[in-house]
Chain A
Amino acid sequence: MQTNRLSPVMPLVGIVAGLALALCQYMIFVYAPVEQTMGIVQKIFYFHMPLAWWSLISFLTVFVASIAFLRTRNWKWDALSGAAAEVGVLFSGLALITGSIWGRHSWGVWWTWDPRLTTTLVMWFVYAGYLVLRTLDLPRERLGTVSAVVGIVAFLDVPLVFLSARLWRSIHPAVFASKGGGLEAEMKTTVIACIVAFGFLWVALTWLRAAQRRMAARIDVLATETTI
């Protein structure tokens, strides 16, 4: 039986992601200097920020793939939007958790209703709801259309998350809003290395999950045809 085979490039991306993340860990714990005001806990920033940024890229991917699906009715876009939403919910959830741990240490509270935190939490719930929606027992065509429409509308919150720390009075810093964010050279190198490392992880996870979703959809169609 012919199924969607995985690309031979995919394992390579996974290996590169693993090596890049190992390097990122080395840079966080060994290479990057300890920040003088916040101390060693500031190093949470090196995985907190890449997770947050790549979650926003995930939701941008959901938005673009949903539009592409409605225009072309090609199911590969539906699989990509589902996969990107899953990885986005994972990454934004981890960004919320790491931010909460950092906040508990620095601000003395696990959570505060700050504009950046609140819009991020709303975004997490919106996309978690989107994933629940995708599991509904509806006809395939209808579910694909409804998911794509929700995937487009849900994106409304994403620019708000990005701009919240700049638009409103927020205790959350707008990183790189000023020139380079006032980071030392080693800190800047570390944060860039971690953004790249988490980028490889994001590509590997999204690609693999999208391939799995395409394969599952193909098996569903073949199973239905066999039954008929």
Chain B
Amino acid sequence: MESTQWLLVANAAVWLGIGAYLFLMARAQQTLDRRIRHMEMLGDDK
């Protein structure tokens, strides 16, 4: 593998890692939003 390819692989690894973490954060936010909506519905029923 050429030197440029090693550099690109390392660069891609960084962005994949950060992208994966952002994806997990977005999933966590969706879960929080769902729980808030659920609690709001329970509050409205009372």
Chain A positions within 8 Å of B, measured between CB atoms, are: 1, 3, 25, 28, 39-41, 43-44, 47-48, 51, 86-87, 90, 93-94, 97-98, 101-102, 104-105, 201, 205, 208-209, 212, 215-216, 219, 222-223, 226
Contacts and interface: CB of A to CB of B under 8 A. Distances in A.
A93 B9 CA distance: 15
Given A39-B3, A212-B28, A219-B39, A101 B13 contact: yes
Interface in B8-37: 9-11, 13-14, 17-18, 21, 25, 28-29, 32, 35-36
Given A41-B3, A208-B25, A212-B29, A102 B17 contact: no
Interface of B: 3-4, 6-7, 9-11, 13-14, 17-18, 21, 25, 28-29, 32, 35-36, 39-40, 42-43
A183 to B, nearest CB: 17
Contacts of A215: 32
A209 B25 contact: yes
B3 to A, nearest CB: 4
A44 B17 contact: no
Nearest to B13: A97
B28 A44 contact: no
Contacts of A44: 6-7, 10-11
B27 to A, nearest CB: 11
B25 A94 contact: no
A40 B3 contact: yes
Which 8 residue pairs are nearest across A and B when measured between Cβ atoms?
A: A101-B10, A41-B3, A98-B10, A105-B6, A44-B10, A94-B17, A39-B3, A40-B3
A1 B39 contact: yes
B17 A97 contact: yes
B12 to A, nearest CB: 10
Nearest to B29: A212
B14 A94 contact: yes
B35 A219 contact: yes
